[in-house]
């Protein structure tokens, strides 16, 4: 989908501006951006899933939009689902990328199989 390619490039540009090294991995039916082997954010069902500090997630959603991320009918603690219109402007996307980067050093890495 053209919109997916566009949002992926916008995320890449936001990470480049932050001078962050990342890798991309196919997960959850979308592309996830990994920093220090931990998921930072990614595309999901036409929107963006953002991994933020679970203790700040509700306040962030109240302040900047988004909703509780659900996957397989279960809420995912510390993950916010953003509709594309909620990150339409560059400052909106940069806000969420920054919140994800703030939490990333504290996030736990998934166990290697």
Asked if the model's pLDDT at residue 2 lies above 90, the reply is no
Q: Which CATH superfamily is domain 2-106 in?
A: YgaC/TfoX-N like chaperone (3.30.1460.30)
Please give the average per-residue pLDDT across 50-77, as a whole number.
Answer: 91
Q: Is the pLDDT of residue 112 over 80?
A: no
| Cβ atoms of 47 and 29 closer than 8 Å | no
Instruction: Classify residue 83 by burial, with Cβ atoms within 10 Å: 0-12, 13-18, 19+.
Output: middle
Q: What would the two tokens of residue 21 be?
A: 């090294």
Average pLDDT over residues 4-22: 93
Query: How high is the pLDDT of residue 41?
Result: 95
User: Which structure tokens are listed for 47?
Assistant: 């929107």
Per-residue pLDDT for 1 more than 90? no
Predicted confidence band of residue 5 (pLDDT cuts 50, 70, 90)? confident
pLDDT, the chain, mean = 90
């Amino acid at each position: 989908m053209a919109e997916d390619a566009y949002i992926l490039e916008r995320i890449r540009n936001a990470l480049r501006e932050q001078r962050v090294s990342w890798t991309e991995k196919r997960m959850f039916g979308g592309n996830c951006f990994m920093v220090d082997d931990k998921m930072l954010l990614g595309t999901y069902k036409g929107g963006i899933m953002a991994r933020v500090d679970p203790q700040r997630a509700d306040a962030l959603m109240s302040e900047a939009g988004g909703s509780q991320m659900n996957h397989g009918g279960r809420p995912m603690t510390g993950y916010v689902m953003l509709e594309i219109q909620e990150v339409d402007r560059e400052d909106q996307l940069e806000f969420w990328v920054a919140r994800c980067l703030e939490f990333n050093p504290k996030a736990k890495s998934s166990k290697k199989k």
